[in-house]
Structure 1
Amino acid sequence: MTGNSEDLVIIDVRSAAEFESLHIRGSYNVPLPLLSEHTGTLAERLGGSVVLVCQSGVRAEQARGHLAGAGVERAMVLNGGVPAFAAAGGEVVRGAQRWSLERQVRMAAGTLVVAGLAGGRFVSPKVRFLAGGIGAGLAFSAATNTCAMGQVLAKMPWNKTAAEPTAQSAIGQLPASR
């Protein structure tokens, strides 16, 4: 993002691997688990307007809720996330390409459902419970706006980078409030 708003801070709450793949130039990576755990410290550091971004807006909205609870009222969520910003011609930095966590969740869920149905047909009817369990998990995920499968996949080796931020490095990189 460009412009004359010096107090605008863009915080990307995606994983370090997602951030490394594509991020808004000038944004800061504070993954949602770190932000959630250290909201108070982060809130003390923020002074002006905050724009929260992620892949689609879901994690950014969760981050906005955490910050609002810590007194940061000027936090906004970028609708459509980083991909929408890039598609609109915004200035982004591209790195090593990986599948987004949302795409990985769809692939894992779909594969497990097919495996459950095939296993139920060829191995044991009880294997169909796998497909039912995945369906129930997806429904719960939609109802609660959380994703346990995404959290698990984020910890997989292919989603890790050498520069996974710590609380100190993630929050310390932000400009001090004025």
Structure 2
Amino acid sequence: MSQINKITPAELQARLQQGDAPLLIDIREPSEYAREHIQGARLVPLNAIDSHDFDAERNRVAVFTCRSGNRTAMHAARLLAKGFKEAYALQGGLDAWKAAGLPVHFNPKAPIDLQRQVQITAGGLALIGAVLAWFVDPRFILLSGFIGAGLAFAGVTGFCGMARVLAVMPWNRRALGV
């Protein structure tokens, strides 16, 4: 099997209600999971999945989920290699689950996920640079250029310095119990 099967939120909910509970694995980052997740989902971040994480549970049916379903689809081969007898991806991920009106555990005190924090910060700094360049001094456009270069570097290398800085901010450390 090289492609992961899909399961709709309604199908998953029906299985959960029938007592046919699959192992629900949320592959998002801890900061995303802390904010909201499907009740009963186990957090196993994609970047931390170990080859032996599921040794005792390989005879179970697994359902992998992320925010939109894209991360799960992109890494399907890696997830399938964990050796489950049957594996599914939640079609549309957590977004589709919520759109179907199904319950989630939501912690309003947890910070928004790190990716969105980066987008807000980078967008805000780029906008500030453009406004300051227009009204104060044209050299402020360098701030916008610097932010754009940083985002391009992050996209090419997978390393985002801004995300690293935001991850150690007090509001993020407190939410993750660090």
TM-score (norm 2): 0.64
List runs of 5+ in structure 2 lacking aligned partners. Answer: 1-12
1:148 corresponds to which letter in structure 2? C
In the alignment, what sits opposite 1:54? Answer: 66
Whole-angstrom CA distance in 1 between matches of 2:56 and 2:167: 26
User: Once the 2 structures are TM-superposed, how far is the Cα of residue 26 of structure 1 from its aligned partner?
Assistant: 1.1
In the alignment, what sits opposite 2:92? Answer: 80
Whole-angstrom CA distance in 2 between matches of 1:147 and 1:62: 19
- Aligned pair partner of 2:108 in 63, 75, 96: 96
Distance 1:162 1:131, change over 3 A: closer
- Aligned pair partner of 1:113 in 126, 149, 153: 126
Whole-angstrom CA distance in 1 between matches of 2:86 and 2:161: 31
In the alignment, what sits opposite 1:5? Answer: 20
Q: Write out aligned runs for 1:12-91 (5 A).
A: 12-35=26-49, 38=50, 40-47=51-58, 48-69=60-81, 71=83, 74-91=86-103
2:52 corresponds to which letter in structure 1? T
Q: 3-state DSSP class of the match of 1:10? A: strand
Whole-angstrom CA distance in 1 between matches of 2:84 and 2:146: 38
Distance 1:123 1:61, change over 3 A: farther
1:14 corresponds to which letter in structure 2? R
- Aligned pair partner of 1:132 in 128, 145, 151: 145
Whole-angstrom CA distance in 2 between matches of 1:44 and 1:110: 43
Q: 3-state DSSP class of the match of 2:52? A: helix
Distance 1:115 1:85, change over 3 A: same
TM-score (norm 1): 0.64
Whole-angstrom CA distance in 1 between matches of 2:149 and 2:87: 33
Whole-angstrom CA distance in 1 between matches of 2:101 and 2:144: 40
Distance 1:148 1:56, change over 3 A: farther
Range 51-60 or range 61-70, more displaced: 61-70
Aligned residues: 158
Superposed CA RMSD: 3.5
What is the aligned-residue identity percentage?
A: 32
Higher relative CO (Cα under 8 Å, sequence separation at least 6) belongs to 1
